[in-house]
Amino acid sequence: MCGISGFIDKSHHLGVKQLIKYNEILSHRGPDGNGYELYNNDYATIGLAQVRLSILDLSQDGKQPMNFRNLTIVFNGEVYNFEEIRKELNQLGINLFPTLILKLY
């Protein structure tokens, strides 16, 4: 089971070291990889972190946090209706799902 963590720090005191520490604490939940991202704005520092347990997608295509345009997400779980979502997104000209995942089904 993967692990996700993060923070919203209005005091701007937390940073990358905290995200690395979170991933170290959760390392038993995801031995197959980890990642983190840090965002700063006037309002707060926002950190997202994730440790990964690879089950379906063994490639690096499942590395998180995931980015698309100006959006970033970390999540735990499978997208079971990804084929329907993929078709709808492809009709809009967007290709988000790695081909490796599609080959597994």
- One of 1, 2, 5, 71 is an active-site residue; which one? 2
- 35 as an active site residue: the answer is no
Among the listed residues 56, 54, 76, 86, the one whose alpha carbon sits nearest the alpha carbon of residue 6: 76
DSSP 101: H
- Residue whose C-alpha is closest to residue 46's, from 11, 2, 76, 3: 11
Residues with catalytic roles: 2
